[in-house]
């Protein structure tokens, strides 16, 4: 069940608490470098295609490939979540869970990806054809892109983790949990959002080798931020539940 009678989300499917997720993530980097590099190789593929095919696809097609990075990074992010939880995940586990991770990530990535493509299309319409209505459309789509991506920063790791449990995790539940947790502790979410956005925007213009080496630490940072945010939301829910029982 996603919501209790008072309208509070249930975070029982979230990863268990960690005293210091960021420090633990830093310690996990070197021992698990092979599987992180394998996941990075998959995640960097859409950005490489965007760089090579940019003259053919144009700005809208390039944007579509760039936002596909969020989908391709899902197996790597799931690896980071598993490692952060204290479990083992090797290259074989990454390959076997590839299809499941991509299917779980698709509903979470579709909304921000679609909004980003519509934003670029509206900006292109305004700059090329001078249509003033496209300015408002671009602003609205940009706002939806930022908000949806911020929620997805928590919702995607949550669904990747909870989807491994019996019964799975509906996309609606992940979105509701992400919305609740992100609005209660926005600083880690916004920090991760800036890091992911900067990485995805700059990488196609600089060096794909940088992405191959940097995506592992980025995934661990993302997983640590999501875990810390979910921990805070779960602690807040515990206090609210206890206070309501007293009343």
pLDDT in tens, the chain (247 residues): 343 433 334 455 556 555 678 888 889 999 999 999 999 999 888 877 877 777 787 777 777 777 788 899 999 999 999 999 888 999 999 999 999 999 999 999 999 989 988 998 999 899 888 888 899 999 999 999 999 999 999 999 999 988 877 777 899 999 999 999 999 999 999 999 999 888 877 776 677 787 888 899 999 999 999 999 988 777 776 665 555 454 5
d(CA 156, CA 107): 9
Indicate the domain borders of the chain.
Answer: 21-246
Give the predicted TM-score (pTM) of the model. Answer: 0.86
The DSSP bridge partners found for residue 3 are: 9
d(CA 205, CA 199): 10
Question: Contact, 84 vs 24, CB < 8 A?
Answer: yes
Predicted pLDDT of residue 9: 43
Q: Which helix (H) or strand (E) holds 207?
A: none
């Amino acid at each position: 069940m996603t919501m209790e009678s008072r309208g509070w989300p249930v975070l029982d499917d979230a990863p268990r608490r960690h005293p210091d997720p960021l420090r633990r993530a830093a310690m996990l980097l070197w021992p698990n470098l092979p599987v992180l590099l394998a996941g990075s190789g998959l995640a960097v593929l859409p950005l490489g295609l965007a760089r090579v095919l940019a003259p053919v696809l144009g700005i809208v097609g390039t944007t579509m490939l760039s936002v596909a990075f969020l989908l391709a990074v899902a197996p790597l992010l799931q690896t980071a979540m598993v490692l952060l939880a204290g479990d083992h995940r090797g290259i074989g586990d990454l390959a076997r869970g590839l299809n499941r991770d991509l299917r779980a990530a698709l509903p979470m990535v579709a909304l921000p990806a679609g909004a980003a493509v519509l934003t670029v299309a509206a900006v292109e319409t305004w700059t090329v054809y001078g249509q003033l209505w496209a300015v408002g459309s671009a602003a609205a789509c940009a706002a939806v892109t930022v908000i949806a991506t911020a929620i997805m920063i928590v919702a995607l790791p949550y669904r990747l983790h909870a989807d491994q449990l019996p019964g799975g995790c509906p996309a609606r539940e992940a979105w509701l949990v992400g919305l609740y947790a992100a609005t209660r502790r926005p600083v880690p979410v916004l920090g991760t959002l800036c890091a992911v956005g900067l990485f995805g925007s700059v990488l196609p213009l600089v060096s794909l080798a940088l992405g191959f080496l940097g995506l592992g630490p980025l995934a661990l940072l993302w997983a640590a931020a999501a875990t810390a945010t979910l921990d805070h939301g779960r602690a807040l829910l515990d206090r609210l539940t206890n206070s309501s029982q007293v009343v």
